Structure 1
Amino acid sequence: MSAKAHHSLGHMIAFWTRRIFDKAVLWIYCKVFALLLAMFLCLPGRKRMSHDNGIAGTGTLRIVDNPSFPAHDFFAPGREFPVRIRHASATFLDDAMNCIRSMSIKFSHDRFKSPFDIEMNTGQTSLFWSAVSFLKFAKLRRQKYGVEYRDFNRRYPDGLKGSMEAGRRHASSFENLRYNCKTPFLYNGSDGLRRYAKYRVIPADGAPETGIDPDPSEWDQCNQRILPHETRGRNYLKHEYEDRVARRGAHYKLQIQTHPASDGEDPEVFNNMVLWDEVAHPWHDLAEITITETLDWRESTMTTFSVNNMPKSLGVIPAQSIFDYNSVNYMRAHSEIARKARLLSYKLFGMVPPIPDNDNRNVEDWGV
């Protein structure tokens, strides 16, 4: 073997050794993190990994009749699904606090089983962008009475920007917010071409979004407490949503944005802190969602969502390391043990009680 060939072989061995090592570290990192969540949060605390404060509803989802997005067998024109959705506020048990709001969608009426789930939050960008940045996010939280993430926000200004962009304090309804799935997924269409996709939900009537602070400060994002002389109750958004659905239902549009895959793809395509250009990647209507009934506290709490509930052609993009942008969804895909621990905790210790209307404010735990 020539010296040049020997050198090339050495580089190849080093490359694959490093790649295998990075993927092993990622797998161990995600499994250990999920196990710690299960042991110290979900099982003893009967808590979700986040977004405990929520309300679920059921209805129907219908794929649009004349889609303008690349054809996919699962999203066949006019196809209808039963649907279960859940709106929630991140972290705190008080709707009047400055929180990120969420909408999760399940193409099923089941508590967990589904051919397709998607989870979305307010804001267009995220607070963390990889598995390792999420660990730092969690490590530097240091929450006390509604104040949190001061250290993370000062150390990671991109995360602060994501927080400022996603927080919603004075929202008038869950229905009129905009929800984004910020990290892309696979989209292998009917034509056999590989693409990537992002999803979002907007109100069907195009109502203006409420709850946005037009000029938030760093302290505003660290201090999520209710404002002085706040008159709205801890459950005002959930009560409003119940009334709205009972009166006339809630109506949404699910939309999709696609990007054609290519060799040597720019990693920033997968960065959930970077928006795709809407001229090159226009949003297309994917489905219409109509919610006709809200579920009680127990059923809302038992409802769970998973990125593993997707066809393979629409699933999680493989990640290569803890620094890979796609490692965020990889972590979600490997967190099933935490979900199972929470559901087990209800059997062992009973269902968590509904959030009382009048109780301590600015808290994330029941009875604190």
Structure 2
Amino acid sequence: KVRSRYFHRIGVSGKGVLKLYDNIKGLPDHKIFHPGKSYPVIVRHSNSLSADDDARIDARGAAIRILSDKTGAESPILDLTLKTGKAFYARTISDFATWLVCGLAAREEHVKRVPHVRDAVWSSLRNANSYAELHYYSNICRLFRFTDGQEMYVKFKVRPFDEKIDEDSGKVEPIGILPPETGAIPREKNDKRPLLFLAEDFQNRVNSPGGVRYIFQLQFKLIPQDEATQDIALDCTKP
């Protein structure tokens, strides 16, 4: 029996506040995401596979727990998981399970037939200097119901507050068809940074006077009427 996580096994967290802008043009009224609202949040950063060395090139994660804004309440009202890269290599749970067990050779044959899946794999990897200097994406759509009964698909993104840090921060160029079987690419031999330097950096930033600042973004899409267009909108293997 597995008693620990396989992916994103260890992480580093910080507490903060999610503050929505007072005026969000075009946003329908929503129970949680309402202009002017503030919520306590917990953000957890992690590496997808590399639990013992932050210098390995790996996908980086940002899990966000939004807590109730009611006094004395500590229960979560929404949990979100985001990662680096605008797409994910598995469209369904079945695809994900098959990817995990089929082996590298079978995966490489698969991405030859669907090259955008290869792009999704490589674009997720980041050679990071700081968790706080990366862009994170939910990849999958959520279904949102607004107070007027309207429904939309929504995706989430978390980006650094500093606009000079663009989406290509930490980008990795492919060095083969797919990364090694282990998923994470080993650190360079001359890289002398501590094993958990990303975790240490985030802790130091959280405890600094300025803290860590992110922009939390939502992307809405009207639900298409026909099934084929819905299927395209829900395909997480493409940006």
Scaled to the shorter chain, the TM-score interval is 0.7 to 0.9
Residue 271 (structure 1) aligned with residue 235 (structure 2): yes
Identify which of 95, 99, 116 aligns with 1:158.
116
Aligned counterparts of 1:224 and 1:82: Cα–Cα separation in 2: 35
Matched, 1:101 2:101: no
Q: Quick one: structure 1 residues 190 and 134, their matched pair in 2 at CA, closer, same or farther if it must change by over 3 Å?
A: same
1:32 is aligned to none
Taking a change above 3 Å as real, the CA distance of residues 220 and 207 of structure 1, as seen in their structure-2 partners, is: farther
Q: Which residue of 2 aligns with 1:67?
A: 24
Q: Which has the higher helix share?
A: 1
Could you say if the C-alpha distance between residues 77 and 250 of structure 1 is closer, same or farther in structure 2, counting changes exceeding 3 Å? same
Shift of 1:130: 1.1
1:219 Cα offset (Å)? 5.7
**Aligned positions of 1:1-368 closer than 5 A:** 39=1, 41=2, 43=3, 47-68=4-25, 69-93=27-51, 94-108=53-67, 113-141=75-103, 149=104, 151-156=106-111, 157-169=115-127, 171-209=128-166, 210-213=169-172, 215-218=173-176, 221-222=179-180, 224-247=185-208, 248-265=210-227, 266=229, 267-275=231-239
How big is each residue's C-alpha offset from its partner over 1:39-94, in whole Å with a ceiling of 9 and x where there is no partner? Answer: 3x2x2xxx114101310110111121111333212212111111111000011121
3-state SS, counterpart of residue 107 of structure 1: strand
Distance change (3 Å), C-alpha of 1:131 and 1:119: same
Letter in 1 for 2:57: N
> By how many angstroms is 1:245 displaced?
1.7
Q: 1:64 to 1:212 in 2, by over 3 A?
A: same
C-alpha separation in 2, matches of 1:101 and 1:151: 25
After TM superposition, give the deviation of residue 220 of structure 1 in Å. 6.8
Letter in structure 2 aligned against 1:100: A
Cα drift, residue 152 of structure 1: 1.6
Q: Secondary structure at the match of 2:206?
A: helix
Task: Decide whether the 8 Å contact of 2:13 with 2:42 is kept in 1.
Answer: yes
TM-score normalised over the length of structure 1: 0.57
Measure the CA separation in 2 of the matches of 1:89 and 1:179.
12
3-state SS of the aligned residue for 2:24? Answer: coil
Q: Secondary structure at the match of 2:36?
A: coil
SS at match of 2:76: coil
TM-score, normalization by structure 2: 0.85
Distance 1:150 1:55, change over 3 A: farther
Q: Is the 8 A contact 1:108 1:114 kept in 2?
A: yes
Q: Distance in 2 between matches of 1:187 and 1:89?
A: 29
Give the Cα separation in 2 of the matches to 1:220 and 1:194. 38
Aligned mates of 1:54, 1:230 — CA distance in 2:
21
Separation (CA, whole Å) in 2 of partners of 1:70 and 1:232 = 47
Give the match's secondary structure for 1:83: strand
Greater RCO (Cα-Cα under 8 Å, separation 6 or more): 1
Could you list the per-position Cα deviations for residues 152-187 of structure 1 after superposition, in whole angstroms to 9, with x for gaps in the alignment? 234234332111101002x12111100000010001
Supply the RMSD in Å over aligned alpha carbons: 2.1
CA contact (8 A) 1:136 1:152 kept: no
User: Where do 5+ consecutive residues of structure 1 fail to align?
Assistant: 1-38, 142-148, 276-368
Matched to 2:95, the amino acid is S
Report the AA paired with residue 239 of structure 1.
E
The unaligned stretches of length 5 or more in structure 2 are none
Matched residue SS, 2:140: strand
Q: Does the 8 Å CA contact 2:14/2:43 hold for their aligned counterparts?
A: yes
Identical columns (%): 23
Q: Classify the secondary structure of the residue corresponding to 2:132.
A: coil
| One-letter code aligned to 1:241 | F
Aligned residue for 1:285?
Answer: none
Structure 2 Cα separation of the partners of residues 152 and 220 of structure 1: 8
Q: Aligned in 2, Cα 1:197/1:71: closer, same or farther, shift over 3 Å?
A: same
Task: Provide the rounded CA distance (Å) in 1 between the counterparts of 2:139 and 2:154.
Answer: 10
